[in-house]
Amino acid sequence: MTRRRQLAILVAVAAALPAHAAAAASPSLPPAGPPGAVRVSDENLTTKWAYTADVQPVYSQPDERARRVARLHTLTEDGFPEVYVVLSRWTNPVGNTWLQIRVPKRPNGVTGWVHESGLGSLNTVHKALRINRRTLRITLYDHGRPVFRARIGVGKASTTTPAGRFYIREKFRVSGVPLYGPAALGTSAYAPHLTDWPGGGVVGLHGTDQPGLIPGRPSHGCIRLRNRDILRLYRLVPKGTPVEIV
């Protein structure tokens, strides 16, 4: 082998070493459901939720190199403190803890991971709401036991109420707008079209000035209850309550 050939081989090996070392120092991304993750919410008997503590990115996987799917925000569209349901907790090999959350945004059903520091202390809910679009009924469960039932109005065929797993983000009294009744609950669901919720988009539970349309399919995506029913539900349902729409 000539001296020139030996020199070329040595240069090639030296150039390859840093790349190999860099590859060894860059482990693969953890999966979206990493082994060892602890489920903290079953969205039935026990659900954990928290307010935003720090506006941070939300990632598809528990790693800052993963794709960003959203960003935490402090307020809902109506100006109330934002709420996030926490599904799982995972601590990586170097001791950093991540939380998997439900993200209120379009499209519905987005989940992602944030640093634990992005959220405040966890709150616990033992209630759950189930909304059945076929039977036009809503049921509230407390520790798995039904404690409230009512007939409802949902979205018509052209402006349907979306199905899926959501949660209550906000609660507020309504005055001066008979269309929405005396109280409202905002959810993390978004309708395919604009809803009859103020500002549009968000699927809410609220009262009505047309109780004769309940049960039925009169809305643009929101869930309507008779005023006496929304007032009772308002008292019973805390923020962070999971909502399943079927």
Write out the catalytic residue numbers.
206, 222
- Rounded to a whole number, what is the distance in angstroms from the first to the last CA of the chain? 75
Helix (H) or strand (E) holding 175: none
Partners of residue 170 on adjacent β-strands: 186
* Beta-carbon contacts of residue 78 (< 8 Å; ≥ 6 apart): 170, 172, 186, 198, 199, 202
Supply the DSSP string of 3-58, one letter for each residue: HHHHHHHHHHHHHHHHHHHHHHHSPPPPPSS-TTPEE---SSS-EEEEEBSS--EE
Q: Give the whole-angstrom CA distance, residue 204 versus residue 187.
A: 6
Helix (H) or strand (E) holding 94: none
